[in-house]
């Protein structure tokens, strides 16, 4: 069975400061890892994904994520937060050997204060 | 415009009254999936489809049915809704059935079962 944990329900940062939203995963094989963002009253939007290769993945809106195989983590980062980054963030995993199943974390609410 | 559409967007119904939430995508995507989003529980996969006439259970399939008679449509059927199915439902699709594909989400359907 595969699983995703987002240990923080809420992350608060000041505008201009760096942000990190944490994600750890468990999967039997080699994972594909994703970050999605949900703005109020909207569906989820894709931010970035890790497939293979470079452990640092760059995505939309200046976000990046670092894949760490030994720690089974895929933390989302941004060097300088914007108020408009405030949203609900989901980490997700898919297993190459069971492509239909998709497992999401519980979500982390990011609030960026001016 | 390439999109995933869901109807209705909002629905209030009563226990036991059969309902269908429609999902349609105009991108010729192979893979489609249904999720429910509940506070503190993140997104949980209900059913997914790898192709026409090919469907499989996700993590929380009880009380739901799906069908995939055409590539573009993937309706979610609640034969006898119960209050514990009150939730926010999302349909998603991706171009192929390989696990590295990004999912594209619909706007969501907020269902209340009284």
Tokens of B56: 């499989």
Which chain B residue is nearest to residue A99, measuring alpha carbons? B99
**In angstroms, rounded to a whole number, what is the distance separating the alpha carbons of residues A32 and A44?**
18
Please identify every stretch of chain B with a pLDDT value under 70, giving residue numbers as ranges. none
Instruction: Give the A window 70-109 contacts with B, CB below 8 Å.
Output: 90, 92, 94-96, 98-107
Look at residue B77 in the predicted model and tell me its pLDDT: 98
Tokens of B35: 């999720």
**In angstroms, rounded to a whole number, what is the distance separating the alpha carbons of residues A19 and A15?**
9
DSSP state of B72: T
Which chain A residue is nearest to residue B90, measuring alpha carbons? A43
Interstrand relation of A108-113 and A10-14 (parallel, antiparallel or unpaired): parallel
Look at residue B91 in the predicted model and tell me its pLDDT: 97
Alpha carbon of B32: minimum distance to chain A alpha carbons (Å): 9
Look at residue A87 in the predicted model and tell me its pLDDT: 97
Name the β-bridge partners of A93: A33, A103
**In angstroms, rounded to a whole number, what is the distance separating the alpha carbons of residues B101 and B45?**
16
- A37-61: per-residue pLDDT in tens? 999 888 899 999 999 888 999 999 9
């Amino acid at each position: 069975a595969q699983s995703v944990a987002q240990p923080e329900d809420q992350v608060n940062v000041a505008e201009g400061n760096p942000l990190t939203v944490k994600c750890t995963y468990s999967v039997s094989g080699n994972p594909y890892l994703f970050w999605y963002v949900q703005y109020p009253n909207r569906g989820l939007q894709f931010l970035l994904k890790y497939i293979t290769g470079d452990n640092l993945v760059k995505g939309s809106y200046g976000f990046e994520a670092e894949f760490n195989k030994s720690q089974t983590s895929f933390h989302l980062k941004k060097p300088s937060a914007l108020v408009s980054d405030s949203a609900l963030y989901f980490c997700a995993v898919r297993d190459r050997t069971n492509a239909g199943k998709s497992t999401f974390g519980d979500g982390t609410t990011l609030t960026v204060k001016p | 415009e390439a999109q995933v559409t869901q109807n209705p967007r909002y629905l209030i119904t009563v226990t036991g009254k059969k309902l269908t939430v429609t999902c349609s995508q105009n991108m010729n995507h192979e893979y489609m999936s249904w999720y429910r989003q509940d506070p503190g529980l993140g997104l949980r996969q209900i059913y997914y489809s790898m192709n026409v006439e090919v469907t499989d259970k996700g993590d929380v399939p009880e009380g739901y049915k799906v069908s995939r008679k055409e590539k573009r449509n993937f309706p979610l059927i609640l034969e006898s809704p119960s209050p514990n199915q009150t939730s926010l439902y999302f349909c998603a699709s991706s171009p192929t059935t390989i696990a590295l594909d990004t999912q594209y989400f619909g706007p969501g359907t907020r269902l209340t079962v009284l």
